[in-house]
Structure 1
Amino acid sequence: MITMHDIIREGHPTLRARAEKFTFPLSDEEKQTAQKMMEFLENSQDPEIAEKYNLRAGVGLAAPQIDVSKRMTAVLVPGEEEGQEPLFKHILINPTILSESVQMAALAEGEGCLSVDREIPGYVPRHARIKLRWYDLDGNEHVERLRDYVAIVVQHEIDHLNGVLFFDHINKENPFAKENPFAATEDLILL
């Protein structure tokens, strides 16, 4: 079981390295690592388990965050209502963004990261919509269009595979700068 002790923190060189692509078929060990990453997300979103094991809630976990410099991430975005199916629940192997919208978006409350133990205020500009290709554990190709919060989460995770942390995107002079007039919802700001 992955716990917070297994997650490396900012300053660790693996978080700044470009992760290597996988070749198929995946080994049993690689598949087990992927399943443990998804299990961490499930556990972190369960209040009782999270409290018992002192887990911070997460919606994504990239392999570099557990010091495995490979292009794999687990993403679990829960449904909007309790008990609803997740909006997105996949293990992404070798994910690639095929296209992205011109329109940008940011989370109103900013972003956080399991590998960053401090709050860093500011808008993190992301593409509001992306077209994503990834492979599952068996090597099957998937292509899907993602938008809004799910698209933001996936971009955050792919950044980890490229050695980028969320705060690298924040405008240093004006963390809450808006490039264009924006429309705000409760959670999302279109920049």
Structure 2
Amino acid sequence: MYRMDQVVRDGDPVLRKQAEKVTFPLSEEDQQVTKDMMEYLVISQDETENEKYGLRPGVGLAAPQVGVSKQYSSILIPNEDVDGQEDAENPFFFKGTIYNPVITRQSVKQQALAGGEGCLSVDEDQPGFVERAYRITVKYQDEQGEPQEIKLQGYPADVFQHEIDHLHGVLYYDHINKENPWEEHDRTKYI
């Protein structure tokens, strides 16, 4: 499992690089990185465990954030974070790693998290709205290299866009209006 001191911080050039596509079958190194990233997310979302290891809670971790400039991100979105999602047998809306993801469709309607976004790689808070597409369709490959497609809206769409940005050298605060960071727009839904 990764620790906070192994998460690459803002200012490291790997966070601003275009990551390389992943080839299949996955290398042993990529399999291990994937396993360690997901373990970080699972433990970071457990209040007792994350305190024990000094982890900041996260719902996503991209390979560049652990120094690997390849196109994959592990994502762990609890059902409790998604409106109307309750399933006692499966507590997660999404749990997995997306390889070579591409956003193939996105809505004109925008959204932004009401309190702004954060990032495990950005220690200093960057206040402001991060406007993103409200609905998206993402095509990606799973661990076996099989093509997958998922349609998302609201908070899960935000998480996926944040993680996909990491694969293209973009950080969340790049989307914030520098002159008026909390400016609201009619076309945007604040969630």
TM-score by length of 2: 0.93
Aligned-partner residue type, residue 125 of structure 1: E
Structure 1 pair 183–28 and aligned structure 2 pair: CA distance change class (3 A): closer
- For structure 1, the residue ranges without an aligned partner over 5 or more in a row are none
Listed as ranges, the matches of 1:23-102 within 5 Å are 23-80=23-80, 85-102=91-108
Q: 1:148 is matched with which residue: 151, 154, 163?
A: 154
Q: What is the rounded CA distance, in whole Å, between the counterparts of 1:174 and 1:36 in structure 2?
A: 38
1:3 aligns with 2:22: no
State the 1:23 CA deviation.
1.1
Q: What is the rounded CA distance, in whole Å, between the counterparts of 1:18 and 1:175 in structure 2?
A: 26
Structure 2 contact 109–187 (Cα < 8 Å) conserved: no
Aligned-partner residue type, residue 159 of structure 1: D
Q: Secondary structure at the match of 1:114?
A: coil
State the 1:183 CA deviation.
4.8
Moved more, 82-91 or 53-62: 82-91
Structure 1 pair 58–125 and aligned structure 2 pair: CA distance change class (3 A): same
Q: What is the rounded CA distance, in whole Å, between the counterparts of 2:127 and 2:3 in structure 1?
A: 26
Q: What do residues 56-105 of structure 1 show as CA deviations (whole Å, max 9, x unaligned)?
A: 00000000000100001000011217966211112001011011000000
Q: What do residues 112-142 of structure 1 show as CA deviations (whole Å, max 9, x unaligned)?
A: 0000001111000000010001111111111
Q: What is the rounded CA distance, in whole Å, between the counterparts of 1:82 and 1:35 in structure 2?
A: 24
Q: 2:171 is matched with which residue: 148, 165, 169?
A: 165
Q: Secondary structure at the match of 1:105?
A: strand
Q: Which runs of 4+ in 1 moved over 4 A?
A: 81-84, 181-184
Q: What is the aligned length? A: 185
State the 1:179 CA deviation.
2.9
Matching residue of 2:21: 21
TM-score by length of 1: 0.93
Let me know the Cα RMSD of the aligned residues: 1.4
Structure 2 contact 110–189 (Cα < 8 Å) conserved: no
Q: 1:175 is matched with which residue: 163, 178, 181?
A: 181
State the 1:178 CA deviation.
2.1
Q: What is the rounded CA distance, in whole Å, between the counterparts of 2:188 and 2:100 in structure 1?
A: 33
Structure 2 contact 112–188 (Cα < 8 Å) conserved: no
Q: Secondary structure at the match of 2:96?
A: strand
- For structure 2, the residue ranges without an aligned partner over 5 or more in a row are 81-85
Q: What do residues 155-174 of structure 1 show as CA deviations (whole Å, max 9, x unaligned)?
A: 00000000000000000000
1:118 aligns with 2:121: no
Q: Secondary structure at the match of 1:52?
A: helix
